[in-house]
Amino acid sequence: MNLALSFLFGLVGMAYFVYGKKQSEIAFMLAGGALCFYPYLVANVAWMTFIGVALMAAPFVAARFDW
């Protein structure tokens, strides 16, 4: 399960990073880099899921509140 989640969040992170680079959106680039890197640090499936969902939502929250 850890491997599948790591692959999923890494894939989403890569897509976020590429999108952020093409659109010059720093929030997506940072979230994408974090999504690619954090599965190496977290072993618990529940925490990995929670952190991954939070990182995927972060650029949208940042855009909503103009951060």
Per-residue pLDDT of the chain (67 residues; tens, 9 = 90+): 999 999 999 999 999 999 999 999 999 999 999 999 999 999 999 999 999 999 999 999 999 998 7
For residue 67, the model assigns a pLDDT of 72
For residue 62, the model assigns a pLDDT of 94
Q: What is the 3-state secondary structure (H, E, C) of 1-67?
A: CHHHHHHHHHHHHHHHHHHHHHHCCHHHHHHHHHHHHHHHCCCCHHHHHHHHHHHHHHHHHHHHCCC
Q: Which two tokens stand for residue 10?
A: 């890494």
What pTM value is reported for the model?
0.91
